[in-house]
């Protein structure tokens, strides 16, 4: 099942927004004309990833608590202390709206 989470233009490039998709907390990230959706909970600590820094060049989001960075494309952590990936979801822009599917990995 897909969820319309709002207008593409409402999220600035290089930022993340926490949304709920089918009862799952998801961080939706915009980088230029692309959107990504990743589980909004660090796999190392119970911390919201949507509060972290978005690294546009490497397509990562950083957990604000301990600095682990997660790939927006795969969910894999690229830095310690996190060692476990987080789920990624399909996100796309449809008629100017961001649509996210929390049915499973991309």
The whole-model pTM stands at 0.91
Average the pLDDT over 8-16 and give the result: 97
**Which two three-digit tokens encode residue 3?**
């969820």
> What is the chain's percent helix, strand, coil content, to nearest 5?
5, 45, 50
Whether the predicted pLDDT of 23 surpasses 70 = yes
Q: What is the pLDDT of residues 49-102, one digit of tens each?
A: 999 999 999 999 999 999 999 999 999 999 999 999 999 999 999 999 999 986
1 band by pLDDT with thresholds 50, 70 and 90:
confident
Whether the predicted pLDDT of 104 surpasses 80 = no
Domains of the chain listed by start with CATH number: 2-101 (2.102.10.10)
């Amino acid at each position: 099942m897909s969820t319309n989470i709002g207008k593409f233009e409402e999220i600035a490039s290089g930022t993340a927004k926490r949304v709920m998709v089918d009862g799952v907390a998801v961080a939706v990230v915009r980088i230029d004309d692309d959107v990504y959706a990743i589980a909004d909970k660090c796999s190392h600590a119970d911390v919201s990833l949507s509060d972290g820094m978005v690294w546009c060049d490497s397509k990562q989001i950083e957990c604000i608590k301990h600095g682990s960075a997660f790939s927006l494309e795969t969910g894999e952590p690229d830095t310690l202390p996190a060692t476990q990936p987080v789920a990624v979801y399909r996100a796309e822009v449809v008629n100017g709206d961001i649509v996210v599917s929390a049915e499973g990995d991309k």
